[in-house]
Structures are given as C-alpha cells and as structure tokens.
Structure 1
Amino acid sequence: MADQDRVWLGGLAKYLQRPPTARGMTFGVPEDETSMTNLVFSPPVCERRTLTDAAAVVLDGHVERHTTWSTSSSTT
C-alpha cells in the first residue's frame, strides 16, 4: 500500500489506548480471522463513542507513511 491509499478495515475491537503523553491521539487494534492491525486515531475521530461502544467495527481511512525515519545499527 502506498501513502494516502484509501483502506477499509473491519474486525473486533481488541483495545484502545489513550496515553496522556500522546496529545489526544488514540491507538487501537482491531482483529479479524487473519491478523491484528495497529491503528492511530486523531482526536476528532475518538470523540465518536462508536469506537469504544461497539464490539465490532468497520473503519474507512487512509494510509499514512512517513519515510523520514532512520535506523542505525552498531557492532561492538
């Protein structure tokens, strides 16, 4: 999937986390029979109580990929 591709995803709502250090962002994991997926929800989306009230959800969104991250490895 490429950046900004539209996606539909459905599954059972496994959990939602709202860490106080995440500036209102919520992290969630829906699960279907094949896998679990990590998602990030912006504050306006999380204000809709459907995410926490429903056992199963169908979500419509887009992929966001940031390619500015770098990793390094070192050997000693």
Structure 2
Amino acid sequence: MTAVLLDETATVVRELAVAADSFAARAEEQEACRDRARPGTAVQHRHAHSATLWRTAERCLRVRIAELECSTSG
C-alpha cells in the first residue's frame, strides 16, 4: 500500500512540475512582451501584471511540490 501511495505521489509531483515549468514559460513570454512595450503604457502594465500572476502561480506549485517531496521522504 505504501508503494502505491509513493508512486501516486511521484506522479502528482511530476505533473505539478510540468505545470510549474509551463507557468514559468508563460511568465517569460509575458516579461518579453512587457519589455517590448512602451514604458508607462497600459499594454506594458498588463503584461507586467500577467507575468507577476504566472510567477506567483509557479511559486505556489513549487512550494507544494517541495511539501509533497518532504512528506514522502520523512
């Protein structure tokens, strides 16, 4: 039973890592758009805000991944 739970947890961790990587890529795209936009414009602000949201989501997932990894190793 424990092996099954460890396998399931490992699968969840892998899927969360894929999602976090995807969120990081989206943040990078938004940062690039922000950097290309004219400073002080609504477009620049929108891309900056979007990048911040993607980075925040990525960090939340990475924290959850670390928590899951700690709970399975202990």
Q: TM-score, normalised by structure 2?
A: 0.22
* Higher helix residue share: 2
Q: TM-score, normalised by structure 1?
A: 0.21
